Amino acid sequence: MELRGHSFMNRSTTSWHFNPCGYSMVVEAENFVFNSEYITTTRFNDTYKGRQPVVLDWAIGNVTCEAARRNMSSYACRTGNTVCVDSPNGLGYLCNCSSGYQGNPYLSNGCTDVNECEHSPSPCPKSATCQNIVGGYQCSCPFGGNFSKETNSCTNGLIGKPPEGVIIGLSCGIGVLFIALVSTLLIRRWNQGIKIRVRKAHFRRNKCLVLEQLISSDESAMHSTKIFSLDELEKATDNFDSARILGLGGHGTVYKGILSDQRVVAIKKSKMVDQIEIDQFINELAIMSQINHRNVVKLFGCCLESEVPLLVYEFISNGTLSEILHGDNLSSRISLTWDDRIRIASEASSALAYLHSAASIPIFHRDVKSANILLTDNVSVKVADFGASRSISIDETRVVTAVQGTFGYLDPEYYHTGQLTEKSDVYSFGVIIVELLTRKKSIFLDSHGENKNLCHFFVQRQQDNTIMEIVDVQVLEEGTERQIDEMASLAMACLKHRGEERPTMKEVELRLQSMRGKMVMKRNHELERHGEAVTLLPSNYSNYFSTSFGAANSSNQCVTRCCTMERELVSWTDLPR
């Protein structure tokens, strides 16, 4: 295409004096209307910014498409996906992209596929699915429908008989689903059958072990213990969800559970599965089935369907004495008054004295520590964790066994000889008394960051007459020096190195009861002076301690451990609890 521009300068025209410039442009005639102001003013530039649309009609060469194909060296439409079109305005031809393609047909691979399915609106009807294909698209109608290009719609294709392929496909699909469903049901029933058989096997074995433990003592205790199913306990604990964990021990994990009757319980589950753990849980179940004391945690029942039996206890909400005394967060520690500490020691000693002397068979706890003393909302004691306990016959006083216990509470005589006696529990209880006095752990860090044994530390301070320096501040504020000395003396007696020099738990209980009685009488005396109501006590309460404690001190003259039981139990009825 060739364009030529000429300037005809006619200086005699009337416009030369105000516009000596000339303009030329190529525009589309249908879209441009000349105005004389375009010459005398700047209106053209202001209106069109110096631009106007232009349409150029052009073609390649001066031959038709048919003639051009004869000479492929000069043929412009030889790339893929192009089509040749004769010029509508004379000789020559043009190249266009084929249907379904777009781009520049004069470049190599310049025409690319168009994805018609991305156009809006979609080229397919709403009921059909558009699928792009090379050079076009196809519309897929719902099952049973056919697409009509003429009407661009889906028509019902099930007027006649369904295609054979459709029938075969549907039949195969339904058959496969049926086989999969039946197989799943059979496998599930098979697994449930295996689970039931395993649970029954565990139940039979554990029941035999429990009966074997009870056969020599009180077999009727087994019939008073409720047997829970494993499904019931799994439901109560949300399948033993970690969020239900109350505490972690050396041998088991305790979960909080809610039974179907809405009772809140604590469920003890073993961490490990071996014969030692099984024997220990069976031992705890057998012992707890024979204990009935208000200061011992109550066993509701057990589950024998698991490999290691599960134990179901009453739920104690206030945690352990160890947590309350030695909690990591000082601000969260519960304040224990001096009266509370005396009562805790008294109730714990009452439970241990019951185990040693008043249970159907004597029981040694073997793991007495503050972490195994639970406290209720009203700070009442519940002794727990009897997994390490041992029961002995009435006429025995000791048993030789493997050493077991917690460092810091372990009786040194038991540790060296392996002979477990009731005095081993007395030693451990002495450590608890020191914890109540000092609010220090059995193994604690001193000011130099070194580990100290609380028992050794306390004994040394007592010998140096500096015991008041390590007593808890709240005890110093609320207790009298005489009361603190009496409590410290009791701890010293319990911590004697030789077991025969230690008091029995019965004697420890009586001394603590005596302290509680004196404190109550002192408080009542002070209230009387101020004209206030007083706590009622038996008339012979003040004479009780001189007689009963004297009887306890002479109890070693009896032939058996139970010779003074009836007399002491009668006396206890006058004591406040």
Residue 262's alpha-carbon distances to 236, 255, 298, 511, in angstroms, are 9, 15, 17, 41
Catalytic residue numbers read: 367
pLDDT of residue 52: 72
Q: What kind and span of H or E run contains 453?
A: strand 451-453
pLDDT in tens, the chain (577 residues): 555 555 555 455 555 555 566 666 777 777 777 777 777 777 777 776 767 777 777 888 889 999 988 888 888 887 888 999 999 888 899 999 998 899 998 888 889 899 988 888 888 888 888 988 888 888 988 876 788 887 888 877 554 456 667 778 888 888 889 898 988 888 888 887 777 777 666 666 655 555 545 544 454 445 557 888 888 999 999 999 989 998 876 667 899 999 989 999 999 888 766 667 777 777 787 788 788 899 999 988 888 777 777 889 999 988 899 999 987 665 556 788 999 999 999 999 999 999 998 777 888 998 999 999 999 988 999 999 887 888 776 656 667 777 888 899 999 999 999 899 999 999 999 999 999 999 999 999 888 888 999 999 999 999 999 999 999 999 999 999 999 999 999 999 999 999 999 999 999 999 999 999 888 888 888 777 776 655 555 444 444 444 444 444 443 333 333 333 334 333 433 444 3
Domain match, 414 and 492 both: yes
**Domain membership flag for residue 273:** yes
Has 440 been labeled as part of a binding site? Answer: no
Domain match, 331 and 221 both: no
pLDDT of residue 539: 43
Number of domains the chain is built from:
4
Domain match, 311 and 378 both: no
Burial of 129 (0-12, 13-18, 19+ CB in 10 A): middle
Domain match, 275 and 353 both: no
Domain match, 101 and 122 both: no
Domain match, 201 and 283 both: yes
**Domain membership flag for residue 226:** yes
Residue 412's alpha-carbon distances to 220, 406, 495, in angstroms, are 37, 12, 10
Domain match, 344 and 404 both: yes
Look at residues 477, 505, 533 and tell me which one is the last residue of a structural domain.
Answer: 505
**Domain membership flag for residue 200:** yes
pLDDT of residue 396: 65
Domain match, 103 and 122 both: no
Strands (E), 214-289: 226-227, 245-248, 252-258, 264-270
CB 574 within 8 A of CB 541: yes
**Domain membership flag for residue 3:** no
Look at residues 299, 315, 331 and tell me which one is the last residue of a structural domain.
Answer: 315
For position 414, which CATH number holds? Answer: 1.10.510.10
For position 81, which CATH number holds? Answer: 2.10.25
Domain match, 409 and 296 both: no
**Domain membership flag for residue 166:** no
Domain match, 213 and 258 both: yes
Contacts of 538 (CB under 8 A, 6+ apart): 544, 574
**Which tokens sit at 446?**
């001193």
Domain match, 404 and 458 both: yes
Range of the domain at 105: 65-114
Q: What is the Cα–Cα distance from 534 to 576, expressed in whole angstroms?
A: 14
Q: What is the Cα–Cα distance from 316 to 382, expressed in whole angstroms?
A: 8
